[in-house]
Amino acid sequence: MTYQYDTLRAVTWRADQLHLLDQRKLPQEQTVMVLENAPNVAQAIKDMVVRGAPAIGITAAYGVVLAAKAAHATAPDNWQTVIEPDMQQLAQARPTAVNLVWALERMKACFAKITGNPVPTLLEEARRIQQEDIDANHQMGDLGAALLPQGCRVLTHCNAGALATGGYGTALGVIRSAYAAGKVSQVYADETRPWLQGARLTAWELLQDNIPVTVLADSAAAALMLQKRVDWIIVGSDRITANGDVANKIGTYSLAILARQHGVKFMVVAPTSTVDMNLAEGSQIVIEQRAMEEVLTIGGQPMAANGAKAWNPSFDVTPAALVDVIVTEKGVVEQPTTERVAAMMS
Ligand code: MRU
C-alpha cells in the first residue's frame, strides 16, 4: 500500500556510507552529513545532527555496520571483540531513548551467525530495522487516525515525524494519515523550546508535504485549550515503561496536565521498540540533561542575562494516568496500566 504524504527520509544508506540530513541546520539549510565511521556516528547522535528516538536507533544500527567494516579490515578473526568500544560509544551517545540500545542489541544478536565478512549481514539487519520502523509508523498512522473525529484539531509537541524515525513518523504519522483521510481541520505545533523541534522541524516537514501548520509558543497551549481550539494532543515518546508512563520531550507533561484540565484527549504514538518492559515505572528513566547554552542562547546568539545559569532537562515523564491512549504497531492501549501494556506486548 502506498501512503500519501510520505516523501521524507532523514537517514539513508548510500554507496557504503551513512547519510544524515543535518537537523541542526533545518529549516534554513538542507545539508547532508556523510559518515564513514562509528565514532563520528556517535558524535552526530550526541550533537543532534539526527534526533528522535527511532531515528537514533536506526542511525546507531548503521553505525554498527561501519564499525564492523573497520574491525573486520584490521582483525578479520576477532572483529566481534575489536568492535566493542564502538558499540559502547554508540550506546552512550544519548541516554533516554530506549530505541538506541534496542537497535544495538538487535544488531548484536546477528553477530553469532556471521562467518566471514560481517558487512552484508549487518547491513541487511540495519535496513530491516529501518523498514520495520516505517511499516510500524504506517500501521500506527492508520490505528491512530481511526480514533480521531471528523474535523479534528490537533496539537503536537517536539518533532515525532519522518525526521525523527525511519520515515512517516509516529505522532506525525497519525496526523498524516488522518489528514489524508480528510479528518484534520487544523494542526498546531508547539515551538518546543529550547531546541525548537516544533517550530523548525515539525513545521518544515509538514509544509514539505503541503500540510498547513500553525506554530505557537509552548506557553500559549493553555490558552488554546481554554478557548476550545484543540481536540487531541498527539505526541511521540522516547521510552514507555511497563506501567505506561511516558518519557518524551520536555513540556509534554505540562500538555498532559492541561489536556486533562480542559477535557482534551491525549494520545501517545510509539512503536514497541520504545516500550521498555525492564523498567516498572517512569521514575526509573534516566533523563538527559543538555548544555545550558541551549537555553541561554538562540541560534548561537546570547539571549539570557550574562552570567545566568540554566536548567535544561531534555525530557519529562508523563504519568500513565494522564494518557488516554497509547498507539503502537501491535495495537491500541486505552487508559494504560501495567496489565494492559503487558497484554499488548505479549
Ligand atoms: O531531543 P530529541 O529531539 O531527540 O527528542 C525527540 C522527542 O522527544 C520525540 O518526541 C521522541 O523521540 C519521539 S520521535 C518519534
pLDDT digits (tens, 9 = 90+) for 199-251: 999 999 999 999 999 999 999 999 999 999 999 999 999 999 999 999 999 99
Query: What spacing in Å lies between the alpha carbon of 249 and ligand 1's midpoint?
Result: 6
Cβ-based neighbour number of residue 3 at 10 Å:
17
Substitution candidate for ligand 1 out of 23, 155, 248, 318 with most atoms within 8 A of CB: 248
Here the cell at position 216 is: 505557537
Check residue 72 and give its pLDDT. Answer: 98
Radius of gyration of the chain (CA): 20
**pLDDT higher than 90, residue 1:** no
Domain end, chosen from 111, 135, 159, is at 135
Q: At 331, which helix (H) or strand (E)?
A: strand 331-334
Q: Is residue 5 part of a domain?
A: no
Residue 16 annotated as catalytic: no
Reported in sequence order, the residue ranges of the chain that DSSP labels E, i.e. its strands, are: 11-14, 17-21, 32-35, 152-156, 184-190, 214-216, 232-235, 239-241, 246-249, 265-269, 275-276, 297-298, 301-302, 315-318, 325-328, 331-334
Reported in sequence order, the residue ranges of 22-132 that DSSP labels E, i.e. its strands, are: 32-35
The domain tally of the chain equals: 2
Domain end, chosen from 101, 135, 169, is at 135
Q: Same domain for 286 and 190?
A: yes
Q: At 89, which helix (H) or strand (E)?
A: helix 84-91
Q: Same domain for 205 and 327?
A: yes
Q: Is residue 84 part of a domain?
A: yes
Domain end, chosen from 112, 135, 158, is at 135
Across the range 1-30, mean pLDDT stands at: 95
Q: Same domain for 55 and 162?
A: no
Q: Same domain for 118 and 152?
A: no
Q: Which phi and psi (to 5°) does residue 139 adopt?
A: -60, -45
CATH number assigned to the domain comprising residue 257 = 3.40.50.10470
Here the cell at position 263 is: 477535557
Closest listed residue to residue 17, CA positions, set 100, 102, 91, 119? 119
Q: Same domain for 128 and 19?
A: yes
Check residue 2 and give its pLDDT. Answer: 87
Residue with CA closest to ligand 1 atom 8? 249
The span from the CA of 194 to the CA of 217, in Å, is: 11
The span from the CA of 335 to the CA of 322, in Å, is: 8
Q: Which residue has cell 546568539?
A: 301
Q: Same domain for 63 and 156?
A: no
Q: Same domain for 115 and 154?
A: no
CATH number assigned to the domain comprising residue 87 = 1.20.120.420
**pLDDT higher than 90, residue 42:** yes
For residue 268, give its domain range. 144-345
Substitution candidate for ligand 1 out of 59, 138, 197 with most atoms within 8 A of CB: 197
**pLDDT higher than 90, residue 55:** yes
Q: Same domain for 105 and 176?
A: no
Kindly report the average pLDDT of the chain as a whole number.
97
Give the list of residues 6+ apart from residue 196 with CB closer than 8 angstroms, or none: none
Residues with CB under 6 A from ligand 1: 51-54, 97, 158, 160, 164-165, 170, 197, 236-238, 248-249, 314
Q: Which phi and psi (to 5°) does residue 107 adopt?
A: -65, -45
